[in-house]
Amino acid sequence: MKRSLLIFPIILFIISSCAVVRQGEVGVKRKLGKLSQETIAPGAVAYNPVLTKIIKLPVQTVNLEIASNLPSKEGLNVTARISILYRIKPDQAPNIIENIGANYENVVITSVFRSAAADVCSRFFAKDMHTAQRSVIEKEITAHMSRLLADRGFEVEAVLLKNIQLPAGLARAVEEKLEAEQDAQRMEFLLQREKLEAQRKLVEAQGTRDAQKVIAEGLSEQVLKWQAIQAFKELSKSPNSKVIITNGEGPLLMNEIKGN
């Protein structure tokens, strides 16, 4: 009985002296308040729970979603939801814990984003956030954040602007402009099609004219006489009697007399 009472605390101490660092995490030891500069790879790790603590940080890509009002060049505020894709550099985990702490998203990531977004978006019109320029804005914010966070141990992969909500009056103006641009493109297409049709008809008319010209040039006096001779020959082959009125150059009138 006494032996079992001694074994149970020992087992409990052994279990509490082992930590597991999962895939997508790194561990950092803190012993007597002093932080180790070496990171612990995924797997089981033994430590003294009395003197040491294992701090774990995720190193996988994190999707941080926030809502923010983005300032525009004309002084308007554009409401948007933003996804910030970032990750911690594994070898920088000790520095992040020591210099920033576990609340690094609020302390650094969000604060840097708001500063970078204000700097970038203020150079663009509000309508640009709702058009193809949005990808340009996203890339510039990403680049700005990367410059500020790279030395702190973070890698910003992308900043995505989602659910853009323009002010009501501006949203309608943007829609009307897009509709006008679409109408202009449609009219341009129709005009281009009519021009191509006109060119086709012109080419067809020129071809007909050239063909008639060639035919007219080929109908010389000698050709006409030759064709008249051929016509007389064809008439002579017929078994029926015929009355032909001619001027000597070509048949003018033919009456067929059928035999009884």
Is residue 66 domain-shared with residue 54, that is, in the same domain? no
What pLDDT, in 10s, does the model give residues 170-205? 556 555 666 667 777 778 888 888 888 888 888 888
Is residue 157 domain-shared with residue 112, that is, in the same domain? yes
Is residue 47 domain-shared with residue 132, that is, in the same domain? no
Poorest-confidence range of 43-57, 64-78, 215-229?
215-229
Query: Model confidence at 209, in pLDDT bands (50, 70, 90)?
Result: confident
What pLDDT, in 10s, does the model give residues 120-146? 999 998 878 877 888 999 999 999 999
Whose tokens are 């006489």? That residue is 225
Is residue 149 domain-shared with residue 114, that is, in the same domain? yes
3-state secondary structure the chain: CHHHHHHHHHHHHHHHCEEEECCCEEEEEEECCEEEEEEECCEEEECCCCCEEEEEEECCCEEEEEEEEEECCCCCEEEEEEEEEEEECHHHHHHHHHHCCCCHHHHHHHHHHHHHHHHHHCCCCHHHHHCCHHHHHHHHHHHHHHHHHHHHCEEEEEEEEEEEECCHHHHHHHHHHHHHHHHHHHHHHHHHHHHHHHHHHHHHHHHHHHHHHHHHHHCCHHHHHHHHHHHHHHHHCCCCEEEEEECCCCEEEEEEECCC
Q: Is 70 inside any structural domain?
A: yes
Over the Cα atoms of the chain, what is R_g?
45
Tokens at 237, concatenated = 């082959």
**Mean of the per-residue pLDDT values of the chain:** 78
Residue pair 95/28 in contact (Cβ under 8 Å)? The answer is no
Query: Model confidence at 52, in pLDDT bands (50, 70, 90)?
Result: confident
Of residues 229 and 78, more confidently modeled: 78
Q: Is 77 inside any structural domain?
A: yes
Closest CA to 137 of 67, 181, 75, 82: 82
Work out the average pLDDT over 233-245.
63
Work out the average pLDDT over 90-101.
90
Most distant pair of Cα atoms in the chain: their distance: 149
Find the distance separating the first CA and the last CA of the chain, reported in whole Å: 148
Using DSSP bridges, classify how beta strands 34-40 and 25-31 pair: parallel, antiparallel or unpaired. antiparallel
For residue 46, the one-letter residue type is A
The dihedral built from the CA positions of residue 114, 115, 119 and 122, taken in this order, carries a sign that is: positive
Of 171, 186, 204, the residue that ends a domain is 171
**pTM to 2 decimals?**
0.58
pLDDT for the residue 257: 46
Portion of the chain with pLDDT greater than 90, in percent: 26
Residue pair 161/138 in contact (Cβ under 8 Å)? The answer is yes
pLDDT for the residue 16: 54
Position 225 pLDDT exceeds 90: no
Domain range for 44 is 2-58
pLDDT for the residue 133: 87
Work out the average pLDDT over 95-123.
91
Is residue 71 domain-shared with residue 126, that is, in the same domain? yes
pLDDT for the residue 82: 92
What pLDDT, in 10s, does the model give residues 5-23? 555 454 444 455 677 788 8
Is residue 39 domain-shared with residue 73, that is, in the same domain? no
User: What gap in Å lies between CA 99 and CA 153, rounded to an integer?
Assistant: 11
Of residues 2 and 157, more confidently modeled: 157
Q: Is 203 inside any structural domain?
A: no
Q: Is 30 inside any structural domain?
A: yes
Query: Model confidence at 114, in pLDDT bands (50, 70, 90)?
Result: very high
How far, CA to CA in Å, does 61 sit from each of 58, 88, 109, 248?
A: 8, 8, 13, 103
